[in-house]
Amino acid sequence: MGRNSLVEHWRRLHGPVHPDDMHVLANLPHSFNVDYPPPAFIGDIVNAPVVLLDANCAYDPTLTPSGFSNREAYVRFVQLLHEPCPVEPASIAPYYGKRNYRSLIASGRLAVVNAVPYRSRGISREPENRRIAERLPSTQVHRDWLRNELIPAAARGERLVVVHRTSLWKISRREDDLPNVVFTPNPRSPDLSRWVLERMSVVRTS
């Protein structure tokens, strides 16, 4: 599918924080968890025919550390950002392992991309984190990728974009004339509606 600036950006990650974001996170107040590698995206973002846009990944003080019980798990997580591929989402982030689109991620048909790569308890209730998100270089990289690469690919019929959360992506539900870009009817639900899942099922796989 050609150049993917998102993957190029995250291939520079070798710890829990992207080097471009270090200054912002170190010098401004926030409650993002930065102990573990960030779930910037989940799944095969290069080849998946469907891309789901979410806000950020949840942080659970019990579940999240359990996914990084050894060094191998940490290294594997970073490697999946460097070389994206289909993955069982429960092995990466328990939140996505519970969703009704879990099998689509595992099969490679769907990839999830977060507008903000770092975990938090609930960003809609965290004004300090929403302010920080606007300062993070990685957030801007994600937005540029959406506008400059993903939406044009959808317009060419190469991908279906499912917008679940809008505000951190700076995309409006009024933009309903974008080819092959659909907005979920209930963005507060952690799962996807039957209508969206049915729309995904007819998307070509190559």
pLDDT digits (tens, 9 = 90+) for 143-188: 999 999 999 999 999 999 999 999 999 999 888 789 999 999 999 8
Measured at the CA of 73, the angle between CA 71 and CA 77, to 5 degrees, comes to: 120
19 is a domain residue? yes
Number of separate domains in the chain: 1
Full domain range(s) for residue 92: 5-201
Q: What is the pLDDT of residue 55?
A: 96
82 CB-near residues (< 8 Å, 6+ apart): 7, 10, 11, 13
- pLDDT at residue 204 above 80? no
Q: What is the pLDDT of residues 44-62, one digit of tens each?
A: 999 999 999 999 998 989 8
Whole-structure pTM value: 0.94
161 is a domain residue? yes
Number of Cβ within a 10 Å radius of residue 17: 22
206 is a domain residue? no
Q: What is the pLDDT of residue 132?
A: 96
Q: What is the pLDDT of residue 2?
A: 60
Per DSSP, which regions of the chain are E strands? Answer: 41-42, 50-54, 110-114, 160-163, 181-183
106 is a domain residue? yes
Q: What is the pLDDT of residue 206?
A: 43
